Structures are given as structure tokens and as C-alpha cells.
Structure 1
Amino acid sequence: MSDAAAPRMRAAVLSGPGQLRLEEVARPEPGPGQVRLRLEGCGVCASNLTPWAGPEWMQFPTQPGDLGHEGWGVVDAVGEGVEGLAPGDRVAALSFRSYAEYDLAEADAVVRLPDSLAGQPFPGEPLGCAMNIFRRSGIEAGQTVAIVGIGFLGAILCRLATDAGARVIAVSRRPFSLEVARQFGAAETIPMEDHNGIIACVKELTEGRFCDVVIEAVGKQWPLDLAAELCKERGRLIVAGYHQDGPRQVNMWLWNWRGLDVINAHERDPKVYLAGIRDAVEAVASGRLDPSPLYTHRFPLDRLGEALDATRDRPDGFLKALVTVR
């Protein structure tokens, strides 16, 4: 079948900095070991914002559907050699062109969603990321944990750490996000306004000991500096923020003096990503974790540009944008 005669789909194409259009393109066909997803939606990741801004290294136009990597939907076709998955299975997937009506995924990069999650959005990649960061953090009952930056990720980590028996101190810029932190279990909240004031507050709350674990979940220089200051001697600093806008400087004197363990919580092994998504499926399906209040903004595919702008500008009440396809 010629490309012109192939079934079509709509897909988003970034045509320039801050510019986006929908195109009708050929619907992809799964190759050996692949499945095709009829997408229901895709989460919008903050990592999309640098390409959206159009840095010098970015090449336009993008491939149809590019940058979307938080998709979920229904398997509607399987390639040769695929076992254990069939058309009709509802899944979350690690795929990379999910700002579209259909996407392809390797069969071993797909996690089936149980019937109990029917009708619920499930952006698997960020949910799995949160589970993996929590695992890497090594949080235990009785510890004091500071989380610097309460967005989608920070809120989930508040819930996971609290449920593990830790006392959580949430630090964030927006009053709305601090209220969300309280709803997700934070025992204390501190506005992210004054550097020295935050340090003094945490020192008082911990009777001078500071925190066993501090998770930096912003991805900027100042929150990283602040997070190190909130760690106790022999504490653990978890870098969960995505630092994509340039090099960072660190206070190595402080890190050395306090003997900090510093953990980059970003995974790169697809098998570990999948394990995190499976953990997230179990947590949500069992009721241990309810991320639904965090999906604050929804946009149809043809308004993806607005979703990206909202992710960048973070209007009041914003935590996570979803692009819905159906």
C-alpha cells in the first residue's frame, strides 16, 4: 500500500520555536516485536519546554508526534513475534511520538493496565519515575524528609514518603502547591521565598539536626543549593529535578563537610523504567496512591501548544497537563 493510500492519523508537529501544527500523516504499522497504540492521551513533560523554546541545537520541523513520551491507550495491532499482548489491551507505554492519535512501542516497553483503572488517565512514564525516585531515596520510617519543589512529582513523593512513616517538610513557591503538599501528607510546609529564612525554619523544626533525606525536585540552581543546606551531616541529597538548561555549580565544601551522599535519581535503563511503571500501576490500582487530583489541566491534541505554555507558565492551580486524544 502506498503512503498516500495508507490509513491516516493526526499528529502534532513542532514547526518552530513556540509554533505547532497538526498534520495528517500515514498511520504507522508495527514491525517485529512492536505494538501499535490507539492513544487515549499523553502527559506533558517539563522536559518538552526546552525544545518548545527553540534552542540553537533544535531542528524543526519535528517528526510527527515527537516529544510525547507519557502516552497511554489501547493496543490495536501487534507485530510479528509479539506474545502476551493483544488488540484491545489497555496499556501505558514507553514510546516517544505520542502527541498523535497512534504511536508504536516495543512490546517489552508496554505495561498492561488492569480493569480497575478503566477510564482513568495513566501517564506511565512520570508515575514510574516517581516510584523509582522514591526507591532510590531509601526513605525509612522515623526519618525527616524535605521535598524542595511541589509539582506533580513532589506531591507524589510527599504521599509515598508519608506512607513510609517519614515526617515530610514541603518547600515550594506557590501557596496552591503547598496546600497540595498538605493534602498529600506533608507535616510541615514552607514558602520558597527567603533562602536563609527557609534554612532557619527547617533548623528549628528539626531541633538543629536538619533532614535525613532532601529531595530537590525543581531542576534549577537555587533549589539545588537550598536542598544541600537542608541536609544533616551524613544526610542524603536526592537530585530529582531535571537540570536541562545548563551546567550547575555546587558547594563542594558543604557537601564534603557534611559528608553527604548525593544520588542522581534519573534512571536510564528501560527495564528500570518499566519496573517503576509496574509499581505505579499496583499503587494506583490498590488505592495506595491517587494521582487524579494532580491532573489539573486537560487539552485536546489540537491545543497542545496551550498545554506546553501552561506547563511553562504554571498558572495558579496548575500541576500537570494532559493532552487527550479521545
Structure 2
Amino acid sequence: METMKAYVLNGIGDLRLQQVPKPIPETGEVLLQIAACGVCGSDIPRIYEKGTYRFPTIPGHEFSGRIEAVGKGVKDHLIGRMAAVFPLIPCRKCPSCEIGSYATCSAYDYKGSRSDGAFAEYVCVPAWNLIMAPEGLSGEELAMAEPAAVAVHALRRGGLDIGDRVLISGAGPIGLMLAQWARAWGASRVLLADVDDRKLAFAEANGFQDTVNPTKMDVQAWILERTGAGVDLAVEGAGHPSSWENCLRAARPGGRVVLMGNPSGPMGLSQIGYWEMLRKQLTVVGTWNSDYAEFPKNEWKLAVEAMAEGKIQVRSLITHPVCFDELGEAIAMMKDRQQFYNKVMWTKT
């Protein structure tokens, strides 16, 4: 039996580098040799606090790789090709799946949390989940397709239009992708808010100069000074009550607010915040994951095409590229916040 190296979550907080059986592709699947896999912010509580849906599990859902072998029913001309991977495996039977809303599938599988993911040398995935790579894209760029698709989905949910003034609350990896998408989409002004000055400095180094720390300045006054009336669209990307309130206060009358941040605790809303929604007649929508259906838009293909065309620049967002054997230490660094990071990613190159 062939084996491979993988980081296996054997229980909450028990992540170990182990030798495990190398997977074999079943019907409709391919065997992917991992080229790169990002560590999502959600991976940290999944590993250290919440656990996965079963143990043992190999985490990792932001990944790309090269097709090494195919199972029955998959054409072998795919062998050797690079691809990004949509990690959600829908049931294809529920009402959501029937209309192509796979992110709201009621019985889905998910690589890295419900089944083995890409903190490993190899993984098997359905061929349907592959987004084939155009020439010139690296494994690292392809591994950023997942957060890039999540970002574009949030903006589409918010109805972003040309000339919109946009506030993004939360300047992490997806926040900066939101900013890039908004600028590429024709936003007239892109503003970023975060309580971490290091994140704001990183955003400025990546070309976004309109930044604010809400703990040091009144966001509403700062927004009004720069826009005159408030923003057309605010995206809450931090998952914190104060961030949500700031978005509601920043939006202009008749504006739109998208709730995207994954909260780590209760998301209470003050009376004033509630009044902001009422009196300004705001549209507040949620967003979850991304659209993978061909109609009306496959956001994964949009993301990969935008990276290939240079509209979205993701390599500069990777602050900590590490080799596979260093991944465990990098994850521990993220947990303990030992240093500033934006995107941590294990990569073969």
C-alpha cells in the first residue's frame, strides 16, 4: 500500500503529521497531487476549538494541484493538468441543488471538514469540482480561488455597481480581495476599516490608502468626510458586533449592507444600530460561500479568469509561504498570533 504525508486532526487540538494511505480515485474522481493549500481563518477554531465533523480528518479546503490519475468515467487527457478545486460536494438531490444553489445544499460533503482535505500530499476529488487552470497561473494563485470566489459572491449579493462607494470592514485576506474586486468592478472609492493597524498598513502597501481604525476615530464622521453622504455598499467582514454597527452607520440612506464575517460569538445589535436600518431604509443581506452553477455565473471561473487576466493580484497577499513540513508550526503561529500574517499557505514551490 502506498502512503503519503498528511496533517491529521485526531481530536480537538490534536493535529499530527502522519503517514497515511495514499488515496485511490473512485468513479468520477481524480487523484490530485497538491500544489498549494492556504490556511483559512476558519481552520484555526476548527482545529483547536470546534473540531471537524468526524475524527480523524485531514483539514484544508483552499487548494490546487496537478492531476496524477483518474477514476472510471473520467477522461485521461486531464492527467498532468493543473486545477483549482471547489471543496463543496453537493448532494445533487435537494431543492437547493435542483436550482444550482449548491452552497445551500442540505446534505453536502466538504473537503477539509467533513471529509479529508489538502493538508496532505494528495487528495481525491470529483472531476466535476475541478476548475481547470489557464496557462501561466501558479499553484499558489489557484489556491486563492476559494477566498476570491467568496469575495466576489459577497459583492454580487450586495449588488455592487459602477461608481459605488464601498466600505469593507475587516482587512484580512478576503477583505483585501473584496477591495480588489470592487476596484476592478468600477467602484469610485474603496475604504477599509480594521482594528489592527498592521492590517491597515498591509492594505496600504497593497494600494488601498483610504483606511481607518474604528477604535481611534469615528467611522461615520470619517466616511462622511470622504463621501459626503455615506457609502453605497458596506461589507461586514470581521464577524464582530461593532463592525456590523459601523457598517450600518456608514451606509447612506437607501444603501446596502452585506453580512459576510463569520462570528466567533454573539452578534448583538444596539437600538441605534437597529434604527439605522429602519430610518435609512437599508437593505441588509447575508452571503455564504460562493456560486458554482454555470447559470447565471460560475464565480470560481470568474475568479480564475480574473487572476489570469491580472485584474486580481493575489500573490502579494501571501505573507507566509511555507513548505509542507513547516505547516504545523505555521498553524500554531496563527493560533498564538505570534506575528503578523495575512495569508499562510503551504506550497511545493
Which interval holds the TM-score relative to the shorter structure? 0.7 to 0.9
- The question of whether the paired residues in 1 share the 8 Å contact of 2:236 and 2:244 is answered with yes
Q: Distance in 2 between matches of 1:280 and 1:216?
A: 21
For the aligned residue pairs, the C-alpha RMSD in angstroms reads 2.5
Q: Does the residue aligned with 2:25 lie in a helix, a strand or coil? A: coil
Q: Taking structure 1 as reference, are residues 314 and 294 closer, same or farther at Cα in structure 2, changes over 3 Å only?
A: farther
Cα distance per residue 1:111-166 (max 9 Å; x no partner): 11112114654212112212222322322232211111111111111122123132
- The question of whether the paired residues in 2 share the 8 Å contact of 1:167 and 1:186 is answered with no
Aligned to 2:84: 92
Q: Distance in 2 between matches of 1:84 and 1:167?
A: 47
Q: Distance in 2 between matches of 1:278 and 1:59?
A: 29
Counterpart of 1:257 (choices 254, 262, 279) is 279
Q: Distance in 2 between matches of 1:7 and 1:72?
A: 22
Q: Taking structure 1 as reference, are residues 232 and 272 closer, same or farther at Cα in structure 2, changes over 3 Å only?
A: farther
Measured after TM superposition, the shift of residue 60 of structure 1 is 7.2
- The question of whether the paired residues in 2 share the 8 Å contact of 1:28 and 1:104 is answered with yes
- The question of whether the paired residues in 2 share the 8 Å contact of 1:140 and 1:166 is answered with no
1:277 aligns with 2:300: yes
Q: Taking structure 1 as reference, are residues 239 and 322 closer, same or farther at Cα in structure 2, changes over 3 Å only?
A: same
Counterpart of 1:73 (choices 65, 87, 92) is 65
Cα distance per residue 1:231-280 (max 9 Å; x no partner): 1111100112122x244223433322221111212136553799222111
Aligned to 2:232: 212
- The question of whether the paired residues in 2 share the 8 Å contact of 1:41 and 1:324 is answered with yes
The one-letter code of the counterpart of 2:314 is P
Aligned to 1:201: 222
Aligned to 1:189: 211
Once the two structures are superposed, the pairs formed by residues 13-32 of structure 1 within 5 Å of their partners are: 13-32=8-27
Q: How many residues align?
A: 315
Counterpart of 1:176 (choices 195, 198, 208) is 198
Once the two structures are superposed, the pairs formed by residues 1-326 of structure 1 within 5 Å of their partners are: 6-55=1-50, 61-63=55-57, 65=58, 67-83=59-75, 86-95=78-87, 96=111, 97-118=117-138, 120-123=140-143, 124-163=145-184, 164-186=186-208, 188-194=210-216, 197-207=218-228, 209-243=229-263, 245-250=264-269, 251-267=273-289, 270-271=292-293, 275-314=298-337, 316-325=339-348
- The question of whether the paired residues in 1 share the 8 Å contact of 2:64 and 2:139 is answered with no
- The question of whether the paired residues in 2 share the 8 Å contact of 1:182 and 1:189 is answered with yes
Q: Does the residue aligned with 2:211 lie in a helix, a strand or coil? A: strand
Q: Distance in 2 between matches of 1:59 and 1:279?
A: 30
Q: Distance in 1 between matches of 2:152 and 2:294?
A: 10
The one-letter code of the counterpart of 1:248 is M
Structure 1 unaligned residues grouped into runs of 5+: 1-5
Q: Distance in 2 between matches of 1:58 and 1:289?
A: 32
Q: Taking structure 1 as reference, are residues 121 and 185 closer, same or farther at Cα in structure 2, changes over 3 Å only?
A: closer
Q: Taking structure 1 as reference, are residues 45 and 301 closer, same or farther at Cα in structure 2, changes over 3 Å only?
A: same
- The question of whether the paired residues in 2 share the 8 Å contact of 1:168 and 1:185 is answered with no
Measured after TM superposition, the shift of residue 184 of structure 1 is 4.4
- The question of whether the paired residues in 1 share the 8 Å contact of 2:149 and 2:290 is answered with no
The one-letter code of the counterpart of 1:24 is Q
Q: Taking structure 1 as reference, are residues 320 and 120 closer, same or farther at Cα in structure 2, changes over 3 Å only?
A: closer
Measured after TM superposition, the shift of residue 177 of structure 1 is 2.3
Cα distance per residue 1:192-217 (max 9 Å; x no partner): 314x722222222223x211100111
Q: Distance in 2 between matches of 1:165 and 1:48?
A: 31
Deviates more, 1:124-133 or 1:285-294: 124-133
- The question of whether the paired residues in 2 share the 8 Å contact of 1:311 and 1:320 is answered with no
Measured after TM superposition, the shift of residue 85 of structure 1 is 5.5
Measured after TM superposition, the shift of residue 175 of structure 1 is 2.9
Cα distance per residue 1:83-109 (max 9 Å; x no partner): 486110111112311111101111111
Q: Distance in 2 between matches of 1:103 and 1:314?
A: 29
The one-letter code of the counterpart of 1:162 is R
Q: Does the residue aligned with 1:62 lie in a helix, a strand or coil? A: coil
Q: Taking structure 1 as reference, are residues 265 and 314 closer, same or farther at Cα in structure 2, changes over 3 Å only?
A: farther
Q: Distance in 2 between matches of 1:159 and 1:40?
A: 24
- The question of whether the paired residues in 1 share the 8 Å contact of 2:163 and 2:188 is answered with yes
Q: Distance in 2 between matches of 1:225 and 1:32?
A: 49
The one-letter code of the counterpart of 2:331 is L
What percent identity do the matched residue pairs reach?
A: 29
Cα distance per residue 1:1-21 (max 9 Å; x no partner): xxxxx2111111123443321
